[in-house]
Amino acid sequence: MSHISNGVEYALHCLLFLSGRPGGAREASVRDLADLQGLPADYMAKLFTKLSKAGLVRATEGVRGGFALARAPAAISVLDVVDAIDGGKALFECREVRQRCAVFEGNEPDWTGVPPCTIHAVMLSAEQRMREELARHTLADLAHRVATVTPPAYNQSVVTWLDTRAASKRPGRAES
Amino acid sequence: MSHISNGVEYALHCLLFLSGRPGGAREASVRDLADLQGLPADYMAKLFTKLSKAGLVRATEGVRGGFALARAPAAISVLDVVDAIDGGKALFECREVRQRCAVFEGNEPDWTGVPPCTIHAVMLSAEQRMREELARHTLADLAHRVATVTPPAYNQSVVTWLDTRAASKRPGRAES
DNA sequence: GCGATGTTACTCGGATACTAACTGTCCGAGTAAGCCAGG
DNA sequence: CCTGGCTTACTCGGACAGTTAGTATCCGAGTAACATCGC
């Protein structure tokens, strides 16, 4: 299992669609976002509730509701998304092996408890480097980089796909 | 589950004992090393075979056999140990979400395959930063730092523990 | 006394559970927007 | 014309199964060192 889960990737792709819409700040439903990318919709709903609790997106309820970014794309970093989805789990969990040393025979001295253990310190610094790199990139950066790769016709077709999808479903007794 | 497993921690602690022995290059059996630190011995044996395959330690078979470092402590980095135990697994696995976009309807264009996807690139750079930090620290560095924290009496008692342990078991019909 | 045999402790590798996390699905409750019927 | 009810599509949250990786244990095979036994 990779440390950064698939959920993070799913969420980032969806957030990119949300931030990439021209004119900004329009909202989209989870189901449309998931179907557009071939992702499991129910699972995405779970991920979006996590994003909402982290304050990255804002939900509007009811019919024609959906999610929109709660902040500007430039104010949301990849690290924010990773922490929101994966819960800020540690890269490494120290098991405090030093305290189990057989030489102590049950009563370990006080110097083994001093934080952090030497090996743990190395892992913490490595994790810090990783987090710094993730924090350097924002949704705006990613969206801009994606825009340089994708042809404009693709962006247009995505917009029309979402629009026709939104138009096809309307509340009330439409099909009766 | 943390990305850097407990096995890496176990291995690093054992390697520190191996590199910290004064006079260097003496060997110790897996069972002694495990019992000294209260670690599962059978599991440690598996980890040491991984270390051996990676060329970090050298095994001598038979009675009074054991493991010794294959290189100088200054020539073994924490990254070497992580890769040997955890198999160099990726921090993030790209699922190539772009190729599933519903707009394509089965026939994705060629530009989605260009490596790597924008999100993947960010994760790769973050992983690279982490690996650089892990590669900066060697066993010699760790051993030196540990030596500044632990009292000298502790090191002496560990040596005597290992020696008495080695002396208590001898082949042949010792206990008859 | 010297070589053959046996015992012991080690490495090596496979087979097998157990546990935890991630992934994905299903379902019910609550809410807002629009449509329709009745006053 | 206006108000109340109804339908719909959404969010929200819990419950649950499948898969995978890490953790841990057990066991058998092969090997080297040393003690003992037999010549």
pLDDT in tens, A113-172: 666 789 999 999 999 999 999 999 999 999 999 888 888 888 888 888 888 887 776 655
Please report the pLDDT score of residue A145 as a whole number. 92
Please report the pLDDT score of residue B50 as a whole number. 95
Which contacts of B55-60 are long-range, i.e. CB under 8 A and separated by 24 or more positions?
B56/B15, B56/B80, B56/B81, B56/B84, B57/B15, B57/B18, B60/B27
- The residues in A 76-135 lying below 8 A from B, measured between CB atoms, are 78, 89-95, 97-98, 100-103, 109, 111, 114, 118-119, 122-123, 125-134
pLDDT of residue B174 exceeding 50, the answer is: no
Q: Do B92 and A4 make contact, defined as CB atoms within 8 angstroms?
A: yes
User: In the 8-state DSSP scheme, what is residue A39?
Assistant: -
B63–chain A nearest CA distance, Å? 23
Q: Which nucleotides of D are covered by protein (CB under 7 A)?
A: 6-15, 20-27, 30-36
Distances in Å between the Cα of B43 and the Cα atoms of A115, B82, B144, B159 are 27, 16, 27, 23
A93–chain B nearest CA distance, Å? 7
Q: Is A13 on the interface with B (CB under 8 A)?
A: yes
**Average per-residue pLDDT in chain B?**
86
Give pLDDT tens digits for B77-119. 999 999 999 988 999 999 988 887 766 666 666 766 666 789 9
In whole angstroms, what is the distance from residue B93 CA to residue B63 CA? 44
Closest to B9 (Cβ–Cβ): which among A119, A133, A161?
Answer: A119
Spell out which residues of chain A touch residue B92, defining contact as CB-CB under 8 Å.
2-4, 8-9
Give pLDDT tens digits for B32-70. 999 999 999 999 999 999 999 999 999 988 888 889 999
Assign B24 a pLDDT band (cuts: 50, 70, 90): very low
Pairing of strands A66-69, B57-60: unpaired
Q: Which residue has the higher pLDDT, B61 or B125?
A: B125
Give pLDDT tens digits for B135-147. 999 999 999 998 8
Tell me if A22 sits within 8 A of A91, measured CB to CB.
no
A49 contact partners, CB below 8 Å, separation of at least 6 = none
Q: Which two tokens stand for residue B78?
A: 């924490």
Kindly report which amino acid residue has its CA closest to the C1' atom of nucleotide D14: A46
Q: Do B92 and A9 make contact, defined as CB atoms within 8 angstroms?
A: yes
Q: Do B89 and A13 make contact, defined as CB atoms within 8 angstroms?
A: no
Please report the pLDDT score of residue A107 as a whole number. 65
Q: How far is the CA of A26 from the C1' of C19 (A)?
A: 44
Based on the number of CB atoms within 10 Å of its own CB, is B80 exposed (0-12), middle (13-18) or buried (19 or more)? buried
Closest to B100 (Cβ–Cβ): which among A38, A126, A129?
Answer: A38
Based on the number of CB atoms within 10 Å of its own CB, is B65 exposed (0-12), middle (13-18) or buried (19 or more)? exposed
**CA angle centred on A36, ends A35 and A41, rounded to 5°:** 30
pLDDT of residue A47 exceeding 90, the answer is: yes
Q: Do A102 and B37 make contact, defined as CB atoms within 8 angstroms?
A: yes
Closest to B3 (Cβ–Cβ): which among A3, A36, A37?
Answer: A3
Please report the pLDDT score of residue B152 as a whole number. 85
Tell me if A119 sits within 8 A of A94, measured CB to CB.
yes
Q: Which residue has the higher pLDDT, B171 or A10?
A: A10
User: Model pTM greater than 0.95?
Assistant: no
